[in-house]
Amino acid sequence: MAETSQAHTAVTHLPQALEPRNPGMALDMDWVLRARANRSAIERRAATLPGRRSVKKDFQAAWLARAISCIDLTTLSGDDTAGRVARLCAKAKQPVRADLLDALGLQGLTVGAVCVYHDMIAPAVAALHGSGIPVAAVSTGFPAGLSPFALRVAEIGESVAAGAGEIDIVISRRRVLTGDWQGLYDEMRQFRAACGEAHVKAILATGELGTLQNVARASLVCMMAGADFIKTSTGKESVNATLPVSLVMMRAIRDYFEATGYRVGYKPAGGISKAKDALTYLALVKEELGDRWLRPDLFRFGASSLLGDIERQLEHHVTGAYSASWRHALG
């Protein structure tokens, strides 16, 4: 990762860039079936990244601030309440203590979005009013995606009507596992249509797709069907975001951009809880997709505890001492 910016210039707040939305295209089965994934080469490439790419001091602080701006701050628990969501939204608007931001010379830093279940959209929208931070809602029978199809489509409509600006849908894994690419495409097209102006993130649940080749093909099909983002996981699978899976998905995004001219976003989710891991993912994005993807309109972390560790690292940068993790609660 090139050390090209100081902490005080990393984020003033990053505006949402005006990128043409991916309209999708006709399903190109020849392209889908040509997609391959050399597992051993992918794993070797991914294994070298953490050791090769590191940033220190002011540069690290700058990249950690960038990571914060790309977080979908998430709570997806059965015991969520309006009060908990309101506290999470307060943290989304002020993700780092004011004294640390002043010391770093950062102004207007917020997270990328707040991600909740449908029932928590209304309190999230109210708590974020005027902040410019969108509410993302998980939908379509999250996390398994096995509810009746008509109900999954209707759930999207309900969430959009409630104020969600982004919808994280889950695909039917069985369509990937059985090679039903037309069925996956048709399903994704209907989900995209139901979202209307709300942006749609297609969750592939990569830990349940069997092979990296399936990940590559599912990524292409969802983008062809109009996905604005492709996302690794629900966070509920036994295996969530990994660097090899991320490499496969990013290269599919790059191929799609080169073929169509449309940029599709990427969201790793599940298991990314440490600042050092966030830096590794940012390095991979920079190397595979380029600087344009290092903004919240094209890159997000799906995370709940990552922000606390990043804030802890920023405090260490400012004070020279590590604080206890409990001092950086999310709500």
Q: Residue 218 belongs to what domain range?
A: 27-328
Domain count, the chain: 1
C-alpha distance from residue 98 to each of 7, 103, 300 (Å): 15, 9, 23
Regarding beta strands 166-170 and 265-267, do their DSSP bridges make them parallel or antiparallel, or are they unpaired? unpaired
Options 91, 201, 228, 267, the catalytic residue:
267
Options 58, 72, 91, 168, the catalytic residue:
168
What pLDDT, on the 0 to 100 scale, is given for residue 15?
Answer: 46
Using 50, 70 and 90 to split pLDDT, how confident is the model at 114?
Answer: very high
Per-residue pLDDT reduced to its tens digit, 157-196: 999 999 999 999 999 999 999 999 999 999 999 999 999 9
What's the average model confidence in pLDDT over 134-153?
A: 97
Q: Identify whether 20 is part of a domain.
A: no
Q: Identify whether 21 is part of a domain.
A: no
The string of DSSP letters for 82-139 reads HHHHHHHHHHHHS-S-HHHHHHHT--S---SEEEE-GGGHHHHHHHTTTT-PPEEEE-
267 a catalytic residue: yes
Q: Identify whether 252 is part of a domain.
A: yes
Q: For residue 274, give the nearest of 248, 310, 222, 245 by alpha carbon.
A: 310
Options 72, 201, 228, 231, the catalytic residue:
231
Using 50, 70 and 90 to split pLDDT, how confident is the model at 330?
Answer: low
What pLDDT, on the 0 to 100 scale, is given for residue 50?
Answer: 81
Q: Identify whether 53 is part of a domain.
A: yes
What pLDDT, on the 0 to 100 scale, is given for residue 12?
Answer: 38
What pLDDT, on the 0 to 100 scale, is given for residue 329?
Answer: 65
Q: Identify whether 15 is part of a domain.
A: no
Per-residue pLDDT reduced to its tens digit, 263-279: 999 999 999 999 999 99
Q: Identify whether 17 is part of a domain.
A: no
Q: Is the pLDDT of residue 9 over 50?
A: no
Q: Is-contact 202 230, C-beta < 8 A?
A: yes
For residue 232, what is the domain's CATH number? 3.20.20.70
Q: Identify whether 256 is part of a domain.
A: yes
Q: What is the pTM of this model?
A: 0.92
168 a catalytic residue: yes
What's the average model confidence in pLDDT over 125-142?
A: 97
Per-residue pLDDT reduced to its tens digit, 19-68: 899 999 999 999 999 999 999 999 999 998 887 667 778 899 999 999 99
What pLDDT, on the 0 to 100 scale, is given for residue 208?
Answer: 97
Taking residue 20's Cβ as centre, other Cβ atoms within 10 Å add up to: 8
Taking residue 178's Cβ as centre, other Cβ atoms within 10 Å add up to: 11
- Tell how far CA 191 is from the center of its chain: 18
Q: Identify whether 279 is part of a domain.
A: yes
